[in-house]
Chains A and B, each alone.
Chain A
Amino acid sequence: KQEVTQIPAALSVPEGENLVLNCSFTDSAIYNLQWFRQDPGKGLTSLLLIQSSQREQTSGRLNASLDKSSGRSTLYIAASQPGDSATYLCAVGRFSGAGSYQLTFGKGTKLSVIP
């Protein structure tokens, strides 16, 4: 059974700092990996999607890396801003035996960026 762990559970940084969020997974047989953002009381917004054959993806100040063999991914946020404050969720994707695409989520890292 796939298990996804995110460390740290919470992180507080001053504005402008660069930061790294970590995600690890137990089964390396994944199809892809996604990072989501969740604001309090809201749904999830996809930030970056990395296919299993890829090593990294970038979008603006965000960069996600994937090392499938070691079961690890990192989300790098450059020059953090107060608007980046949210919970960041890592999810690994696979296809079930019935052919349905499914995601397994970590518990998230709650990020607070202090002005």
Chain B
Amino acid sequence: SQTIHQWPATLVQPVGSPLSLECTVEGTSNPNLYWYRQAAGRGLQLLFYSVGIGQISSEVPQNLSASRPQDRQFILSSKKLLLSDSGFYLCACRLAGGADTQYFGPGTRLTVL
């Protein structure tokens, strides 16, 4: 069965600093991968999804970007963080050829000060 790893688990960064969050998936190949953000008082917001290496689709315009350098690696980045980037970031995957559901990682809590 698949396992999703995210790191770091928590992160405190100053405004204007860069960001790199990493997600890796074990136990499956060619998954669809997703980045979500969960902010206080708001639901989960889909930020990016990827159907394959180097293929990224953005759902919400913002100062964040995503990359998929390897089949089971998904990275969320920013060159300059804003206060509004604070939140709980979740990586999810959908198995290739599997049931139409998504499996979620443990999340990264980002606080921008």
Contact yes or no, A101 B90, CB < 8 A: no
Specify which of A4, A91, A100, A105 is in contact with B51 (CB 8 Å cutoff). Answer: A100
* Bound-state Cα–Cα, A106 to B92, Å: 17
* Chain A interface size range: 20 to 34
Stretch at the interface among A12-20, A40-48, A72-80: A40-48
Interface size on B, residues (CB 8 A): 25
Identify whether the interface residues of B are mostly helix, strand, loop, or mixed: strand
Contact A41–B107 (Cβ < 8 Å): yes
| Partner-A contacts on B (CB < 8 A) | 4, 32, 34, 41-44, 46, 49, 51, 57, 88, 90, 92, 94, 99-107, 109
**Which residues of A does B touch, CB under 8 Å?**
4, 31-32, 34, 36, 41-46, 49, 89, 91, 93, 96, 98-108
